[in-house]
Amino acid sequence: MGLRWYHYVLWAAFIGGMFVLPEFVSRGTLRTLIFANFLAIFAISWDALSGRTGYISFGHTFLIGIGAYTTAILTKRFGVPVEVSIPLAVIATMIGGLIVLLPALRIRGSYFALVTLAMMELIYQLVQVIRPDLTGGTRGMSGLPTLTRGAANGYYMSVSLMLAIALSTWLLMRTRLGTALWAIGMNEDAVAGSGLSPTRLKMIAFLTSAFIAGLGGAVYIHYLGSIAPRALFDINFVFTIIVAALIGGAGTIVGPIIGAFFLTFLLEYLRPWLPGAERYMVYAGLALILYMVQPKGLASLVTDAAARLRRAP
């Protein structure tokens, strides 16, 4: 994987920094950080598929929704313990997503994006109509078992999960598999022309993405203790995930994390002045400016600055 000493130092500093953070911030900020951690997980999940392979998914909450609803139904309706329901939710996300979305991986570009968008709408309608006694219909479900109590514990749980996912995905993407997935985003035909099956590689990217989305979705609702379909399948939520990955730097691991924290805090601090959906216009404007300055995202601004420092006499 070609790990260098500074990789260990940077990861150790990042993990250490994230774990001591609760000592320096207020309880309210801690709750914002928890949401940033979950958004980072979802953005990493989106990036594992779309940021790498260039297949833009507009329906990522479809995957998050399968994970969230599977564990919610299992725990609430069937009394399955959380330790069992979460792994089952992850498996269900991978299988369910594979059955529905894998055929879509044979189509490209805007058609793929449209199919994923339709999938999100489809599951939103399904959970409301099909067996509302199980899914809770339009009102969703509340009173689900929670994994932690208190903001500090919630933070440690969410940050541990986010860091574990970030580190594992980073290591995976540093292998030759990561290079092959990256190559698909650049020229899928040339990947096939190098003797590799693009469909198989996209399936791996998709399964990785589904695994993270399912796990993140399942743990998220056991943090909240409730599930609300309108919030989960909200188009603004999808766009927040996508913009977090893009604004931070698609195709990287640190990018979606930076983007998620930046967006969460931006939206939070704008709340007193712009309590409605107008807040999203502000981040759309910021995203636009960033693309004009550095299309590769905030992570590239940092790496470019570091490169300039190294070159400086």
Partner 1 sequence: MSAALDIKGLVKRFGGLVATNEVSFSVKPGESVGLIGPNGAGKTTIFSQIMGELRQDAGHIALDGTDISHLPTPRRIRAGVSRTYQVPRPFSDMSVAENIRVGLMPDSIWQMIRYGPNHDRESELALSVGLTKEQLQRQPSELSMGDLRKLEMARTLATAPRLMLLDEVFAGLTVNEIAIMSSLVQSMRDDGMTFLIVSHDLKALEPLIDRAIAIDQGRLIADGSYAEVIADADVRASYLGAA
**Residue ranges in contact with partner 1 by CB under 8 A:** 1-2, 172, 175-177, 179-180, 182-183, 186-187, 189-197, 200-201, 204
Residue 19 or 182 having the CB closest to partner 1: 182
Place of tokens 């399942």: 218
- Cβ 39 to partner 1, closest distance in Å? 26
Residue 32 or 50 having the CB closest to partner 1: 50
Three-state DSSP class for 226? strand
- Cβ 260 to partner 1, closest distance in Å? 24
Residue 92 or 191 having the CB closest to partner 1: 191
Residues with Cβ within 8 Å of residue 127, at least 6 apart in sequence: 65, 69, 135, 136, 137, 229
Residue 196 or 302 having the CB closest to partner 1: 196
Residue 13 or 306 having the CB closest to partner 1: 306
Residue 83 or 189 having the CB closest to partner 1: 189
- Cβ 255 to partner 1, closest distance in Å? 15
- Cβ 185 to partner 1, closest distance in Å? 9
- Cβ 175 to partner 1, closest distance in Å? 5
CA separation for the pair 201, 76 (Å, rounded): 36
- Cβ 58 to partner 1, closest distance in Å? 24
Residues with Cβ within 8 Å of residue 297, at least 6 apart in sequence: 246, 247, 248, 249, 250, 252, 255, 258, 259, 290
- Cβ 77 to partner 1, closest distance in Å? 37
Provide the 10 A C-beta neighbour count for residue 116: 24
CA separation for the pair 59, 248 (Å, rounded): 20
Residue 206 or 237 having the CB closest to partner 1: 206
**Whole-Å CA distances, 112 to 78, 106, 208:** 36, 8, 18
CA separation for the pair 47, 54 (Å, rounded): 9
CA–chain centroid gap for 293, Å, is 25
Residue 116 or 252 having the CB closest to partner 1: 252
DSSP output for 98-166: HHHHGGGGGS-HHHHHHHHHHHHHHHHHHHHHS-HHHH-GGG-EE-PPPS--SHHHHHHHHHHHHHHHH
Three-state DSSP class for 79? coil
CB 252 within 8 A of CB 212: no
- Cβ 212 to partner 1, closest distance in Å? 17
